[in-house]
Structure 1
Amino acid sequence: MEKKVSMQDIADQLNISKNSVSQALSGKPGVSDETRRLVQKAADELGYQYQTNRKQKQAEKNASKNIALIASEYAFSLKSFFGEIYLSVEKELRDRGMTLFIESINNDSKKDLVLPALLSNHEIDGILILSHISTDYIAKIIDTGIPTVLIDHHSPYLQADSILTNNRFGAYRAVEHLIQLGHQDIGFVGDVNFSPSYQERLDGYLLALKKYGFQANPDFIFSDAQETLDEINLFFEKLQTKPTSWFCVNDGHGFLVTSVLQQKGLKVPEEVSVCSFDNGQLSQIATPKITTMDIDLNYFGRKAVEQLCWRIDHKEEPIHEILLPTKLIIRESTSERKN
């Protein structure tokens, strides 16, 4: 049986250290160009099977890959949330040596199920879909057979990998925070029909109340709330009894709820506490600043690219739903309930 050639064999032939051979073959610094050339020549002559630097090999593998990022015009307009994810996706693809193509989907294209032009104009190896467009539209993209990963969206009717926020546990933690401050009458504001994420946050709200032995008051649950000052004000006007705190599905609703409460002469948080979700700009510029659940949007984008690269190489593997954690950011809008 023929003996397998080792790095030590190359080192012995050139009368250098094994470490120098390793540095030369791996592309690491520490040896001269001349030594690197001699080592590679000796390795070839002896029949040594060596691997180039792993990252270099991966970059070469990815260099010809084209990735499409697709989203509705509305999603692209939400720069403080999806804009950060987009920038993270762009950086991660660039670091991997891959090419990014972007296209927004208008309402006509969505309605008529007109696929993005970039899918016919370019050889696309993988697709990232940012947020929701429509179930039928996303299903048509998936049906192209191009590996696809959904970012911040999923559906029982869509067979594709999804990168998601752990909305239930995040909302649970937010409501638990209010309960631990002594609040029992906790309201909910958000439009659960707008996004699966918001329905999951309602589920987390209900789960926390149940865990702590509190009955959810249906009068306090505004689950079809449009993100407008007038709509929230109208809902508050109809309330016979008032919650001592509010959990809002996003920072936009949190900002509006805080504004309406203050317009009615209520002090936040001295009389009513408010907690929201996303840790976006509105939670940070509100007065007082709003307690919220933070999402690592940079990690969101990196994880989506990582999953798409894996999916491209593992097309037949089962669908994955990956839940990313959230973190409670306590600010001035929540405080202990005053009796």
Structure 2
Amino acid sequence: MKKKVTMQDIADRLNISKNSVSQALRGKDGVSEKTRELIKRVAEEMGYEYPKSRKQRKEKKKGNIGLIASDLTFSFKNFFGEIYLSIEKEVLKRGMNLHIQSINQEQKEQLILPSFIENKMVDGILILSHISTEYINKVISTGIPTILVDHHHPNIQADAVLTNNRFGAYLAVQHLIELNHRDIAFVGNIDYSPSYEERYEGYLLALKDYGIEPNEDFIFKNAEEKEEVIFQYIQQLKKKPTAWFCVNDGLGFLVNSILRQQGIHVPEQASVCSYDNGQLSRMSTPKTTTVDIDLELYGKKAVELLFWRMENKNEPFQEILLSSKLIKRESTALAPKQS
């Protein structure tokens, strides 16, 4: 076995002190440039291996984080795209790599995990929104620390970062009630995600607190985000609500547009309020009153919680609840006076 060449070996060859060799090879002062070049040349000839610096050792230990979400979740670029960008920034800031994979329907149904999870190539996992409880639990069963972002479920034992959907929706509906609206519609698919169901609960809670009986005709709780679906629902209503609460900005945009198509002026004849404060709420005419979520903070808190969990694997699970705020715009106004 070949003997490892040391600084002392180089010093003995040149008949100089080991300290001089060390200063030369580490780039320190104390030796002339001529001597430094001689020492480096002899070190190379003898096959000396330079010790890795602290920085190099740290880089060698650079870890990996996995980020997964369903194809559908990744399609909501205005919402989850902003959270993803925040996550990416925070992970890179901490000197780690981010591996991303979209989970399609086949992978979800057959419980096929990404290779970087299956082979345990990542130190932690972030799951954006929901895939399925069974799929998420398979990810968790790998033992890799996992954080849910914008999703939770009683049968999933994991940390989660969430927004306070109930209170956010409550604030929106309360705003409509304070504008004297009593006929307030709910539009959203509550089976799509726990977030939407919680927004429905916030809607009902606000009506209850203000003594307003929910009108079943005004509750469209399996609404698809499709123009023809919303058009058909609005058209078939014999009595039209004076206000609309929609679980996201996409539905708010559709409701606003279709009301105007049907000759109902917003906000003079009907107010529209949505959720998320995304691009569609600002593109709408008039601009939509909406509930704002700090998406950058969402990503930041998710990464913070994941790194904490990686260091504290046996601590109880946590749910971090982020508050949201109402942004009042031109789409909401006083209810029209009853004739």
**TM-score band, normalised by shorter chain:** 0.7 to 0.9
| Pair 1:193-2:186 in alignment | no
Q: Give 1:165's match in structure 2, choosing from 140, 163, 170.
A: 163
Q: Does the C-alpha gap of structure 1 residues 131 and 189 become closer, same or farther in structure 2, counting only changes over 3 Å?
A: same
Are the counterparts in 2 of residues 63 and 98 from structure 1 also a CA contact under 8 Å? no
Are the counterparts in 2 of residues 103 and 118 from structure 1 also a CA contact under 8 Å? no
3-state DSSP of counterpart to 2:153: coil
| Pair 1:324-2:318 in alignment | no
Q: Does the C-alpha gap of structure 1 residues 92 and 337 become closer, same or farther in structure 2, counting only changes over 3 Å?
A: same
Q: Stretches of 4+ moved more than 3 A in 1? A: 59-63
Q: Which residue of 2 aligns with 1:301?
A: 299
The whole-number CA distance in structure 1 between the counterparts of 2:213 and 2:140 is: 42
3-state DSSP of counterpart to 1:274: strand
Query: Shift of the alpha carbon at 1:261?
Result: 0.6
Query: Shift of the alpha carbon at 1:76?
Result: 1.5
3-state DSSP of counterpart to 1:257: helix
Q: Give 1:65's match in structure 2, choosing from 63, 66, 86.
A: 63
- Which has the higher mean CA deviation after the structures are superposed, 212-221 or 228-237? 228-237
Question: What amino acid sits opposite 1:279 in the alignment?
Answer: N
Q: Which residue of 1 aligns with 2:93?
A: 95
Structure 2-normalised TM-score?
0.81
Q: Which residue of 2 aligns with 1:314?
A: 312
Are the counterparts in 2 of residues 62 and 96 from structure 1 also a CA contact under 8 Å? no
3-state DSSP of counterpart to 2:170: helix
Query: Shift of the alpha carbon at 1:338?
Result: 2.4
Structure 1-normalised TM-score?
0.81
Measured against aligned partners, the alpha-carbon deviations of 1:291-316 in whole angstroms (never above 9, x if no partner) come to 00011100000000000011111111
Question: What amino acid sits opposite 1:302 in the alignment?
Answer: K
Question: What amino acid sits opposite 1:177 in the alignment?
Answer: H
For structure 2, the 5+ residue unaligned runs are: 1-27, 30-53
Query: Shift of the alpha carbon at 1:97?
Result: 1.1
Are the counterparts in 2 of residues 154 and 162 from structure 1 also a CA contact under 8 Å? yes
Are the counterparts in 2 of residues 291 and 330 from structure 1 also a CA contact under 8 Å? yes
- Which has the higher mean CA deviation after the structures are superposed, 275-284 or 112-121? 112-121
Question: What amino acid sits opposite 2:204 in the alignment?
Answer: L
- Which has the higher mean CA deviation after the structures are superposed, 108-117 or 236-245? 236-245
Are the counterparts in 2 of residues 70 and 103 from structure 1 also a CA contact under 8 Å? yes
The whole-number CA distance in structure 2 between the counterparts of 1:101 and 1:230 is: 38
Query: Shift of the alpha carbon at 1:276?
Result: 0.1
Question: What amino acid sits opposite 2:287 in the alignment?
Answer: K
Measured against aligned partners, the alpha-carbon deviations of 1:38-67 in whole angstroms (never above 9, x if no partner) come to xxxxxxxxxxxxxxxxxx99x959953211
Q: Does the C-alpha gap of structure 1 residues 152 and 118 become closer, same or farther in structure 2, counting only changes over 3 Å?
A: same
Instruction: Work out the percentage of aligned pairs sharing the same amino acid.
Output: 59
Are the counterparts in 2 of residues 62 and 98 from structure 1 also a CA contact under 8 Å? no
For structure 1, the 5+ residue unaligned runs are: 1-32, 35-55
Question: How many matched pairs?
Answer: 285
